[in-house]
Structure 1
Amino acid sequence: MTVPLWIWLTTIVAILGLLAFDYFFHIRKAHVPTLKEATFWSALYVGIAVAFGILVLIFGGGQMGGEYFAGYITEKALSVDNLFVFLVIMASFRVPREDQQKVLLFGIVFALIARTVFIFIGAALINTYAWVFYLFGLILLLTAGNLLRPEKHGDDEANNFIIRLAKRFLPTTDHYDGDKLFTVENGKRVLTPMLLVMVAIGGTDILFALDSIPAIYGLTQNVYIVFTATAFSLMGLRQLYFLLDGLLDRLIYLSYGLATILGFIGIKLILHALHENNLPFINNGEPVEVIEITTGLSLAVIIGVLIVTVIASLVSKAGKAQTAINNARRHAEAYLDLGYTADLGERERIYTRLVEEERNILTMEQKYREKAKDIDAIREKVALAHARHEEITAGQA
């Protein structure tokens, strides 16, 4: 189905309007979103995406509507996985919590730009070379395999490399100046870590697009559907970050679910490539008679895998223990970093959550608690946080 130019323009204006609204009414004044605020706006953006999908169903038909929802759900799941990386980056750069919204909005805008470029490059390749479906399928299968590899823990090497590179060639400071990208130190204009973290997130967004775009092209070749499903999956990602917060660590099986989905779509792409085959070394350049996976089956598999993944993660005792211990570590590290935030109330909130997490951990079976990685180092950090809190409390008395 060919989408008229005026619909394209109206959609782009609407998306830009939502981004502008986000900036002028939520981001300009640095603050930590409340749970109520994050929940409301997350639900609103999901509602907008669903309402748009219903319009696609009504005016574009069942096939087009099914492709949109399959693409939107897949891209949303991949976006949630991206939040894990954003969390690591912002923890590595020690971004004050009240300024994290601006970093996230930049990441969303940059991701939208990067993925839009990849969308049109992908469309041009598909229209010119049918064999590109083989390439996209291979990319997704490799990405699925990479997601199944054991996770690496510790400092983010890419971020440390960026910091070292910036400090070597550019005047930089280790200290934040609110949400400013530049500040003046010793009479000189220097970069702040805020600019560096945006560069780091922008770089990761490009890498995310390399598996995100082939995944959605495996579900639909309609460029308008690819663009809108991708754009709406990114909208509300900022609010979702604050809504999920510690729950991100709880989704311990998400990587397995995403690997299954990407592997499934990769196989779907390769089957489609065989069906459209024109490579001379495969079946003498003739199409290969293979089954093609329908949009309805794709949507059912994607939803089914995500439901099983989320439920399995939430009921897992090991997952609960790992989440609680990771949260305690993050809260202890945040509290120990006295330059983390200018908001004293925020530091007290972090300490309260640390204490609550410790009580939660003590209710869990010891065999699950002991399985956590770096448990001795985490205990040491928690003990230091308690000692620091006692010092501060004594000083205020």
Structure 2
Amino acid sequence: MFKVDKMFSVYFWVGFVAFVLVMLAIDLGVLNKKPKEPKFKEVFFLTIFWMILAFLFGGLIYAYAGSQKAMEFITGYLVELSLSIDNVFVFVLLFNYFKVEIKYQHRVLFWGIVGAIVMRFLMITGGIYLVQHFQWIFYIFGAFLIFSAYKIAFSKSEEVEIEDNKLINFLKRYLRVTNKHHGDKFVVIEKGKRVFTPLFILLILVEKSDLIFAMDSIPAILAITQDSFIVFTSNIFAILGLRSLYFLLAKVVHKFVYLKYGLSVILAYIGTKMILLVQGVHIPTSLSLGVIILSILVSVLLSLNKAKKIQ
């Protein structure tokens, strides 16, 4: 059963969920009521807006619960945000494969994020239950993160298997699927029968991608804190900013050639931290925050420097 931390009462949970619902309603019902191609300036300011909002929320946590909880939130948020950059690359490949126009991509990402929020709640619930009742699970989580770090750092292929994707084949076998795009529609009527569009298949693949991504990010945050409210809110703030971050980075993400090494360092560090935690060795959250910021900063600067030399 999901455990509500005593420091953050049910009112905090209700308030945060209400905030998320309002922001999603504004996004879909006001800002993106009709399909449109997002402008760079718009997505840039939206990305900054979500980041500022996250840090303001961290300030509220600081005012209510103190510096340690605030630092846990910011660290968790930055872990989720930095790891999500790798997910942006997968989204780019998926959208390119399905040849989805930019103006329809927001709809897929919006409903993908709604699904991701539900999945994260369930996975965080299960993850916190496991670490609270079976401390040895930290060994498994830690080893998994170190293995993920190795895979990210030394993987030579940068392609996602789509053509022979088993999930696509399964969906096409058991559902009526049309190969024709119908704007932003997931389901249409053809010859009197309900059929699913390529956009629906894409949505399922986006959800699958986020599920795989969450298997790294959630254990990583649980190494920083097991406070259910902090874990959930830091995750959701990063997810809410993922749409604008995608449109901001979609055309340049391939230039960050050293980013995977930065992400690898973060995962390896957090995996080691989890294993040491069971041994009674506590690494300060401030040190974890420093490692995360430094890893991303160095990998981004090195990538930009290489891109500049190539030009």
- TM-score band w.r.t. shorter chain: over 0.9
Residue of structure 2 equivalent to 1:58? 63
1:268 aligns with 2:273: yes
Q: Rg bigger for which structure?
A: 1
1:33 and 2:23 matched: no
Distance 1:77 1:320 in 2: 25
Any residues of structure 2 matched to 1:323-342 within 5 Å, and which?
none
Q: Which residue of 1 aligns with 2:226?
A: 221
**Distance (whole Å) between structure 2 residues aligned to residue 55 and residue 320 of structure 1:** 43
Separation of aligned partners in 2, 1:218 and 1:11 = 23
Once the 2 structures are TM-superposed, how far is the Cα of residue 108 of structure 1 from its aligned partner? 1.5
Maintained 8 Å contact 1:88/1:156? no
In the alignment, which of 277, 291, 294 is matched to residue 304 of structure 1? 294
**2:143 pairs with 138, 144, 160, which one?**
138
Residue 158 to residue 2, structure 1, CA distance change in 2 (3 Å): farther
Query: Runs ≥4 in structure 1, deviation > 4 angstroms?
Result: none
Distance 1:16 1:8 in 2: 12
Q: Which residue of the partner structure matches residue 389 of structure 1?
A: none
Please say if residues 89 and 159 of structure 1, whose CA atoms lie closer than 8 Å, have aligned partners that are also in contact: no
Residues 1:48 and 2:50 aligned together:
no
Partner-residue secondary structure (3-state), 2:179: coil
| Distance (whole Å) between structure 1 residues aligned to residue 297 and residue 252 of structure 2 | 16
Aligned partner (choices 168, 174, 177) of residue 173 of structure 2: 168
Pairing partner for 2:84 from 52, 59, 79: 79
| 1:63 shift after superposition | 0.9
TM-score (norm 1): 0.74
Q: Unaligned stretches of 5+ in structure 2?
A: 1-5
Partner of 1:105: 110
1: CA distance, partners of 2:163 / 2:127 = 27
Q: Secondary structure at the match of 2:154?
A: coil
Aligned to 2:3: none
Deviation sequence 1:229-285 (CA, Å, 0-9, x none) = 10111112111111223111111111110110010011111000112xxxxxxxxxx
Structure possessing the higher relative contact order (Cα contacts under 8 Å, 6 or more residues apart):
2
Which of residues 192, 196, 210 in structure 1 aligns to 2:197?
A: 192
Is 1:116 aligned to residue 106 of structure 2?
Answer: no
Q: Secondary structure at 1:84's aligned position in 2?
A: helix
1:310 Cα offset (Å): 0.8
- Please name the residue that 1:151 is paired with: 156
State how far apart, in whole Å, the 2-side matches of 1:82 and 1:307 are. Answer: 18
Q: Where does residue 392 of structure 1 map in the other structure?
A: none
Instruction: Determine what percentage of the aligned residue pairs are the same residue.
Output: 37
**Cα offset for 1:168?**
2.8
- Matched residue type, 2:295: V
**RMSD of the TM alignment (CA)?**
1.7
Q: 1:295: which partner in 2?
A: 285
